[in-house]
Every structure is written in C-alpha cells, then in structure tokens.
Structure 1
Amino acid sequence: MYSPGEILTISIENGTKKIAKPFVAKLILGFIGGAMISLGYLAYVRVSASIPSNLASLQALVGASVFPIGLIVILLAGGELITGNMMAVSTAFYDKKVSFQALLLNWLTITLANILGALFVAYFFGHVVGLTANGVYADQVRQLAEHKISASWYQATISGIGCNWFVGLALWLCYGAKDAAGKILGIWFPVMIFVAIGFQHSVANAFLIPAAIFEGAVGWGDFFRNFVFVYLGNSIGGAIFVSGFYFVSYKGH
C-alpha cells in the first residue's frame, strides 16, 4: 500500500486525467460505468430475490456480496462513474489543477452517460430479456424501488452521503494498492458494506427505479425526486467526507 499522502497525490493525478479525456471517451466510459453498476445491482436482485423477506439481513448480505463487481470492472478495466469522480476530480480541484467549471462539466457529462448506461441495462436486460420482469425478481425490484422512493428528502440526502463516503473510500483504497488483488479487496469491502447497510447510490437507483417503472410500478416523478437528493448526498460524501477531509489532513497546510 501507498501511504495516505501518496494516495492523495495519485488521486489528484487521476482527477486531472479524468478532466483531460476527450468528450467522446467520457461518454463511452460513462455509459460503461452506468451499465456496470447496474449489472452489479442486477446480480444483487438475481442472487437474493428468492431469499424470504423475513431473512432480510441475509438477503442484503448475499446481494451486497456480488454488487461490487461493477466498480471492480470500472476501476480495473476502464470506466467512469460519477460517484467516483466526485471524489477524484474534487481532489484535483482542491489542488488547483482543474477549474470549477471543468469539474462541473465533467460531473454533468459523466452523470448523463451513467444514466444512459443504467437505463440501457434496466430496459434491455431487465425488461426485454426478462431478468427483472417476472416472479420473485419483479417483486423484489418493486419492493426495493418503493423503499428507495419512500425516503424523505433529508433521509435520501443523508443516505447518499453515507453511500459515497464508502464508495470514495473504495477508490481511495484502490489507488493505494500496488497490485490487482489489493485493488479488488480495497474496492470490494467498502462497496459491499454500503450496499448491505442500505445506503442510496444515485447511479444504482437510476437502474433500480426505472426497472420498477418498466414493470408498471412507481413513476418517473418518483425517480427524479429521489435522484436529485441522493445525488446531492453522494456529492457531499465524495467531495467533502473523502477528498475534502483527506486533502485538508495531508495537504491543506
């Protein structure tokens, strides 16, 4: 492992590189990022849906154990995920390597591409192929989506903070590991824990809630209201609770 100070330097470099990527590359990699997180959530549904609801803790643990594959693929094979960029690009901004305008444009581009990737998986793999359309799988998607949208605005925001505190730490540990096995372990456990706890991830919700919509449950207004507040919380969790705290601690002086 690199030291925390060295990880901060790596994060700043990676955040700067994310800004410098061509626009088309950002769109493609952002689409991949949204799709991979969604496929991780689809795996969650497929492995846990048949576990009885009175074993909710076991259901959450089993689903959470497979969800991290999405972020592993993004970070090791290539992809852009807005919750990760909220951490990495923020460190580059704090170090004055990128402008605030460039940060916002990056966040907007990756967010839109992530949503497209999530919708693609929800519609084509979930609805058209039928992986979330029938039986216990459709029931679980509806129940999970209804639980997400039932949160008040402040619950959704605070939950989003908790989520991206863990996702940002997963990136931090990935940047700090020196080999692939260390990176996988560094990603796996923080992501598994945020999912098992039940914190809300804006891009994962961009798969789950539309998947429920395609099966006749909830509505698009429910999705957009949820997305705004979870996204706000994710921004605070990544840009302040991870990159902000560590920047002040290791380079703020």
Structure 2
Amino acid sequence: MTYVTPKDFAVRMIDAGQSKVAMSTRDTLIRSYMAGAILALAAAFAVTISVQTGSPLLGAVLFPVGFCMLYLLGFDLLTGVFTLVPLAWLDKRAGVSLGAMLRNWGLVFVGNFAGALTTALLMAIVFTYGFSADVNEVGQAIGGIGEGRTVGYAEHGFAGMLTLFVRGVLCNWMVSTGVVGAMMSDSLPGKVIAMWMPIMLFFYMGFEHSVVNMFLFPIGLMLGGDFTIGDYLIWNEIPTVLGNLVGGLTFVGLMIYTTHVKTGPLRELRVKVKQ
C-alpha cells in the first residue's frame, strides 16, 4: 500500500497546514462548503441505514464513505484544520501567524456550516415531500437525535456539559487520526483504509463532531425537534467545537509533531563487554 513512515507524514501534516493558510478566501470557502455538504449527506445516509435496518453498527461502518470522498477531493473540515494549521504555526512556517490561523479556522467554520445547512434543507424537503407531508421515520429519528443531544445534556447540568466536551475531544482524536491517515499512504486503497477505521469508530461510539452537528441539529429544528437554537448552540455546538479543537490538537497534532518532528536526542547505549 506504499506506506509512508511517521517521520515523513509528519512533515506532510505541517506542509498541509501551511498550504491551507496560504489558500485564497474563495477557495477556502468553496472547499469547506463542499466538505460540510458531503459530510452532512453521509450523516443522513448513516442515519437512514440505521433506522431502516435497525443496525446502528451498519450505519457506522458505511458513514466513512462521505469522509473519504471529501478528503480525496481536497475539501476541508474544521476538525482537520484544527489539527494541521497549528503545526505550521508552531514550526514557524513562512506566513503562518496566529491571526492567519484564526482567519483560516473562521472561514472553514463558515463554509462547513453553510454546506451542512444546505444539505439539511435539501434532506428536509426529501423527508417531507417539500414540507407538504408528515415527517417520515428517518426524519423523526433525526429530530430525536437533536433533542437528546441538547436537552439531554442540559438535564445533567455541569456533568452533562463535561460529558459533551469530552465526547468532542474523543471525536476529533479519531477524526484527526483519519485526516492523518490520508497521508500515511501514496495509494488510493491505502488512504481509504487508513481513513475508514477511526471514522467508523467515532460515529458508532456517538462522539460529537462539530460539522456533523451543523447538519443534525438544524435539520432537527426544521423537522420539528423539541429544542431551540439556543439549546443547540449552548448545549452542543460551542462545547463540541472546543472539544474538537482540544482533541485533535492535543492527541494527534502535538503528539505526532513532538515525537516525529522535534524528536528527542537518542540515548547513548552502553554495551557490556564480556570478560
């Protein structure tokens, strides 16, 4: 599968972070818009499979098709730039300042949200025959997700907020591992396999992904979910974004950078000579 060693794909991660900062505003918005739209469609696909087959595992197994497609097409998710761009800043790459990094994050957030919202509207039309019929079974399930993962957390107060944040951390630990997975191979099958595994894990475990939630909660509101925009922002999106940032940067970006780029000095080995 033409495996790329950690030392080499670590450099690719830094290069990717720098290239994303250098990208034009237009291209950043287009690529993030398409990433949000495709990932949202994959989420709708996975929920549909789970509801119609009664097997959440099957939905999780097939959900990564959207993630693989968007990364192979060169599109960008907020969860990915949270991990890659800071490495270029830490490595003091030319043109990568704190302001440039925050600008990139902001543009990707806007693009992802716009793309996910577009798919939410289109799928809401599909689920309701243009808002002229009752919400179908899949639509009801999506509305229930939005309610359970906002009001459900709020019912537990601080403990619920902590759980939400930790699920965001765990999510981007896996998602960013999938982003790096695309750099671990120079072959198409190798890239897909390396991306598929951690994405399947995060989805089945019910971790919180900020971009997936940009689809699930707006469409839940469109389909009559019993929660508010305020519930969505306070009891899901904002803590999830923060958790995703911490998880991807801490458990993936910084760990790989620290041990494969800023590698510690080798120990001097002492060999005992037999008398």
The total of aligned residue pairs comes to: 246
Q: Does 1:223 align with 2:232?
A: yes
Match of 2:121 among 120, 123, 126: 123
Within 1, Cα distance between the matches of 2:252 and 2:116?
Answer: 25
Contact 1:173 1:186 in 2 (8 A): yes
The amino acid across from 2:162 in the alignment is Y
Within 2, Cα distance between the matches of 1:135 and 1:50?
Answer: 11
Within 2, Cα distance between the matches of 1:159 and 1:90?
Answer: 22
The amino acid across from 1:251 in the alignment is V
Match of 1:42 among 41, 44, 53: 44
The amino acid across from 2:256 in the alignment is Y
- Looking at CA atoms only, which structure, 1 or 2, has the larger radius of gyration? 2
Contact 1:141 1:211 in 2 (8 A): yes
Within 1, Cα distance between the matches of 2:215 and 2:78?
Answer: 14
Q: Which runs of 5 or more structure 2 residues have no equivalent in the other structure?
A: 154-159, 265-275
Name the SS for the 2:127 alignment partner.
coil
State the 1:119 CA deviation.
Answer: 0.6
Within 1, Cα distance between the matches of 2:82 and 2:195?
Answer: 16
Q: Which runs of 5 or more structure 1 residues have no equivalent in the other structure?
A: 53-58
State the 1:191 CA deviation.
Answer: 0.2
Calculate the aligned-residue CA RMSD, in Å: 1.5
**1:146 is matched with which residue?**
147
**1:160 is matched with which residue?**
168
TM-score by length of 1: 0.93
Within 2, Cα distance between the matches of 1:173 and 1:185?
Answer: 8
Which deviates further from its counterpart, 101-110 or 146-155?
146-155
TM-score by length of 2: 0.86
Within 1, Cα distance between the matches of 2:126 and 2:87?
Answer: 40
State the 1:177 CA deviation.
Answer: 0.9
**1:23 is matched with which residue?**
25
Contact 2:127 2:139 in 1 (8 A): no
**2:106 is matched with which residue?**
108
Within 2, Cα distance between the matches of 1:5 and 1:81?
Answer: 24
State the 1:44 CA deviation.
Answer: 0.8
* Superposed counterparts of 1:241-252, under 5 Å: 241-252=251-262
**2:135 is matched with which residue?**
134
Give aligned-pair identity as a percent.
29
